[in-house]
Structure 1
Amino acid sequence: MIYFDFAATTPLDSEAAEVFVQASTEYFGNSSSLHDIGGQSQDLLENCREELANLLGVNKKGLYFTSGGSEGNFLAIEALLSAPKKPGKHIIAGMSEHSSIHGVLSRLEGYSLTYLPLNSSGLIDIEVLERAITPETVLVTVQHVNSEIGTIQPIEDIDSICREHDIHFHSDFVQSFGKIELKKIAPLVSSFSFSGHKIYGPKGVGVAYIDPAISWSPFFPGGSHERGFRPGTVNVPAIAAMTAAAQKINDQLGPSHDRFLELRGTLMESIDPIKEFVHIYQADPDSQLPSIIGLRIFGIEGQWMMLECNRHGFAISTGSACQIGMQAPAKVTQALGLSPQEGKEFIRISFGKTTKREDVVKLGETIVDIVNKFKN
């Protein structure tokens, strides 16, 4: 089986796995314990916090370790709403946000919500965002990189608008951390989140950042861990392994981007024979993560195409793994204005560090064969 679903999750890096085992056996103490063994674990925890803060260009006091991106999104939004910059009960969100964002917003009582669509290039229209703002708007939440088509939203422009109107700005960095240099972007937002398993770290661990200038109130009362941000004994081994994976992937940002650009071009060439049946949803190169390709093949349901590819030994997907099993099309297809039937034709192909050019060619040729057999 050749894997093309790196946007869903990644294998654990071997060096990160070694760090996990070492931390589990040598730094096993509870980081909140006052004895020396607990102190060693606490020191490792704080070293990881400082290293990740340095990678992101933010104050380490704002970093909190979580169970992953979904929990990070939930707790960050709850924290921002506990300390709004001004009175109000209006929130603006991208229509194509991750399901964890939609989940936390749908449970809020007393708030009005405005969802922003994407333009034909898969980007938020800044003018539409500005028109959506009211005196009641207290929060904007927009995903940095879309998990299904890989478009990169204009964080700097959105931040500027939010600051002008005294609005908190949360951004989901799950698909951008480890793929894009974030040192200039991370300090701009009120909060962000990312997840370890998207960057060859362990599953079940991630980070949320809240600007230290914000005096938030905890969602979980009485929690003693992570300065009250979340309850539960801190998973120091997983945090150490995630930090090791983060250091490694951030060292390769430039070369990885160039390699993914080449692989993307290779896939485009290989499916050229069926281009009349294919629509690829993408932005200009400056606003596009090259490792994620979201597309439709006209007249063929994405789930069927995914199963056919699986039968031929290729793992692709029909969208975010957090939505698999639901019958509704990927949220990005709704944000792009596609009909439900068109949305069901969507598939996603995503590359990772082990993706080989010859495997991309094989996948493209397989898709061409499947489509030709289906159409004939």
Structure 2
Amino acid sequence: MIYFDYAATTPMSENALNIYAKAAKNAYGNSSSLHDIGDISARTLSASRKVIATIINGHEKGVYFTSGGSEANILTVQSLLNGIQHKKHIITTANEHSSLHTFFKNLESKGFEVSYLKPNQQGIITLNQIQSEVSKETALVSIQHGNSEIGTINPIEDIGLFLREKRVLFHSDCVQTFGKIPIDVKLIDAISISSHKIYGPKGIGAAYISPSVHWQPILPGTTHESGFRPGTVDVPAIAAFATAASDISKDQQKLYDHFVQLKNQLIEFLEPYHDKISLINAHLPHTLPNILPFLFNGIEGQYVMLEANRFGMAISTGSACQVGMQAPSRSILAIGYNEQQAKQYVRISLGKDTTFTQIEKLGKVLINIVENFRK
């Protein structure tokens, strides 16, 4: 089986696995314990926090480890809102990750007014859209950095600068971009990131909230992670997460260039079939090159995915967090496609181990699926 679903999750790297095993043997104590064994865990935790903070150009005191990206999203947004209280307007997008989309829908039932911005024809949220929506009642803006289904990248630095001037809090879901492109939190109040998207273990992620920002915990009295989240901290997983983050950040530009070359190869290979297999973001200027969203003219994406699986290719029909839902992708609908077209969507996502030979094999399988379906 050849894997093309890296945007959903990645295999753990050998280095992260080795560090996890070492930390599990040596840093097994509770990091809150005051004895020497607990101190080993505490020092490992502190070192890992510094690694993450350095990568995003933040302060280590702003890093809070969570059980993953989804929890980081929810805890961060709610903690920030707890620190404001008197404002009830939130600005977000129509194509945020399902963890935030469902959370914001829930907040509406609790008296919040939520504005859901739709991306423009290039698939991005513009600064002008934010400027036209911000009011004196705006408590928080939450705009994803990179979209997991169509790969578009939003201008979070420009948005952050404007919101800083307006003194409106800004959160960004950076789960898909962390480790893929540079992230600088100097103009962003809070971000969410995840380990299993960058060859680290599952079940671990992090929130970053600038130490200058006031927030209130969801559960008062919580002691772990400076009150941000209850529960014993998983130090071995965090050490492996920091290792994976350090490794991928060193290879970031090299991997980016590799993904661009692989993407171009697949586009060229499928060019004779461009009327049947179209890459949605082929000509969009601001996209992650490792996420390739295709529409198969007249063929449902689920059929393509199952046929590809039969031929030994693992691809997807979108975010794994929405699999099982009958509704078509919100991201595809948000950029102007109708429901029938959205159901013809398939996502191919590339990883550090993807080769040109694998891309060629994938291209042949996709062409074979199209030709056999027409027959």
Determine if contact 1:116/1:335 at 8 Å carries over to the other structure.
no
In structure 2, the partner of 1:334 is 333
Kindly indicate whether the alpha-carbon contact (under 8 Å) linking 1:119 and 1:125 is maintained by their aligned counterparts in 2. Answer: yes
Deviations, residues 133-152 of structure 1 (Å, cap 9, x unaligned): 22211111111011011111
Is 2:203 aligned against 1:238? no
| Structure-2 separation of matches of 1:104 and 1:178 | 26
Gaps of 5+ in 2: none
Residue aligning to 2:157: 156
The Cα of 1:72 is off from its aligned counterpart by: 0.2
Letter in 2 for 1:145: G
One-letter amino acid of the counterpart of residue 25, structure 1: K
- Cross-structure match for 2:57: 57
Asked whether 1:306 is paired with 2:340, we answer no
Cα distance in 2 for partners of 1:334, 1:170 equals 24
Return the alpha-carbon distance in structure 2 between the equivalents of residues 78 and 92 of structure 1.
14
SS of equivalent residue, structure 2 residue 116: strand
Please, which moves more after superposition, 102-111 or 230-239?
102-111
**CA displacement, residues 247-267 of structure 1 (integer Å, 9 cap, x when unaligned):** 111110111111111000011
2:295: which partner in 1? 296
Using the TM superposition, give the Cα deviation of residue 375 of structure 1 relative to its aligned residue in structure 2, in angstroms: 2.2
Matching residue's letter, 1:272:
E
Counterpart residue number, 2:218: 219
Equivalent in the alignment of 1:29: 29
Amino acid at match of 1:164: E
Aligned residue number for residue 361 of structure 1: 360
* Separation in structure 1 between the aligned mates of residue 10 and residue 257 of structure 2, nearest angstrom: 19
Q: Distance in 1 between matches of 2:209 and 2:264?
A: 38
Matched residue, 2:205: 206
| Contact 2:150–2:332 (Cα < 8 Å) also in 1 | no
Residue 135 in structure 1 maps to residue 136 in structure 2: yes
Partner deviation per Cα, 1:262-296 (whole Å, 9 max, x = no partner) = 00001101111210123322276751111101121
1-side partners of 2:122 and 2:310: how far apart?
32
Amino acid aligned to 1:325: G
1:194-251 deviation digits (Å, cap 9, x = unpaired): 1000000000001101111122110022211001000000000000001111111111
- What secondary structure is seen at the aligned counterpart in 2 of 1:215? coil
Contact 2:126 2:155 in 1 (8 A): no
Q: Could you tell me the TM-score, scaled by structure 1's length?
A: 0.96
Runs of 5+ unmatched residues, structure 1: none
* Equivalent position of 2:5 in the other structure: 5
What residue identity is the alignment partner of 2:144?
A: Q
Structure 1's consecutive aligned runs of 4 or more residues displaced over 3 angstroms after TM superposition are 283-286
CA contact (8 A) 2:65 2:204 kept: yes
Retained in 2: the 8 A contact 1:123–1:283? no
Which residues in structure 2 correspond to 1:25-174 (within 5 Å)?
25-84=25-84, 87-108=86-107, 109-174=110-175
- Asked if structure 2 preserves the Cα contact closer than 8 Å seen for 1:319 and 1:330, the reply is yes
Q: CA RMSD in A?
A: 1.4
- Opposite residue 78 of structure 1, the aligned amino acid is Q
Distance 1:156 1:15 in 2: 32
Distance 2:114 2:9 in 1: 30
Distance 2:353 2:88 in 1: 46
Specify the code of the residue in structure 2 equivalent to 1:137.
T
Query: What is the SS of the residue equivalent to 1:115?
Result: strand
Q: Is the 8 A contact 1:122 1:281 kept in 2?
A: no
Could you tell me how far 1:368 is from its partner in structure 2? 1.2
SS of the equivalent of 1:317 reads coil
SS in 2 for 1:347: strand
Task: Specify the alignment match of 1:19 in structure 2.
Answer: 19
Quote the offset at 1:5 in angstroms.
Answer: 0.2
Identity of aligned residues (%): 47
The question of whether the paired residues in 1 share the 8 Å contact of 2:122 and 2:285 is answered with: no
Cα distance in structure 2, aligned partners of 1:284 and 1:337:
16
Equivalent residue of 2:274, what SS? helix
Contact 2:263 2:289 in 1 (8 A): yes
Q: Secondary structure in 1 aligned to 2:19?
A: helix
* Matching residue's letter, 1:117: K
Q: Structure 1, residues 85-132: CA drift from partner, whole Å, max 9, x if none?
A: x94211111111000111221221111111111122211133222222
Indicate if the aligned counterparts of 2:173 and 2:192 stay in contact, CA closer than 8 A. yes
**Alpha-carbon separation, structure 1, partners of 2:146 and 2:278:** 20
